[in-house]
Amino acid sequence: MKYIIGNWKSNKTFVETYQWFDHFAPLYKTNPDLTVGIAVPYPYLFEANKKINELNLDQVKVVAQDVSPYPFGAYTGAVTAAQIGEYAELAIVGHSERRNYFAESHLEIGNKVTQLLEQKITPIVCIDEPYLEKQLAAFDQDQIREIIIAYEPLAAIGSGHPADPKHVAQVAQRIREVSGVDDLPIIYGGSTNAANTKTYMEIESISGLLPGGSSLDPAEFSEMISIAQSN
Ligand code: PGA
């Protein structure tokens, strides 16, 4: 399976979310080998799910951008995996923006993955090269077989300077070695767009992309999907 997962981060209003799906729908063509994910802010999980069903967007899934490391309970402001799971099939965890701005630890991220897997939500775990071993050590072998890894080099995120594809291939190889899982799905994120999608999708060890900025524009995002489908 290949993946194109758009991460909207803290962008778009309710009306803009609606408009995005209306623009995207006529441009999108489904392909059974490619899963498309749209990681919307929490308040739009319900509407995004409704829009996907109404517009018959096959193979398009709602993705959460984060999850609570705790189950139901007295954790003000936190959104649990069970609550997310009513609308989303996947969730991003451990994005460098969460690790840096919200001081999330490896342990917390491990707990988030545990919560997600209990609800049968697929975690997309973001990791970066300097901390690769420590970040992967937060998961046991059974968990690692259930997750998608996103290799997201810090310098490439939002900078317009995507990582060297050869280097991406080498890091993907290292992630496989360290994790001990040969068929681990690894996607790449960091300044990806329609112009460089082909280059990254051609890397054998890479199963897809996690675009941030490029996913905000439905035309560019659907172009990335079409390019990924033809690779
Ligand atoms: P970017 O973001 O595509 O805007 O660089 C990628 C990400 O942070 O997931």
pLDDT digits (tens, 9 = 90+) for 139-181: 999 999 999 999 999 999 999 999 999 999 999 999 999 999 9
Is the per-residue pLDDT at 231 higher than 90?
Answer: no
What are the C-alpha distances in Å from 84 to residues 4, 40, 43, 106? 20, 11, 10, 21
Alpha helices in 5-152 (DSSP H): 14-24, 45-54, 81-84, 96-101, 106-118, 132-136, 141-144
Q: Which of 11, 39, 27, 8 is nearest to 148 (CA)?
A: 39
Q: Is the dihedral angle over the CA atoms 104, 81, 215, 47 positive or is it negative?
A: negative
- Show the beta-strand stretches assigned E in 25-74: 34-39, 60-64
Measured CA to CA, the distance from residue 150 to residue 157 in angstroms comes to 12
Ligand 1 binding pocket includes 191 (Cβ within 6 Å): yes
Residue 152 appears among annotated catalytic residues = yes
Ligand 1 binding pocket includes 180 (Cβ within 6 Å): no
Q: What is the pTM of this model?
A: 0.97
Mean residue pLDDT of the chain comes to 97
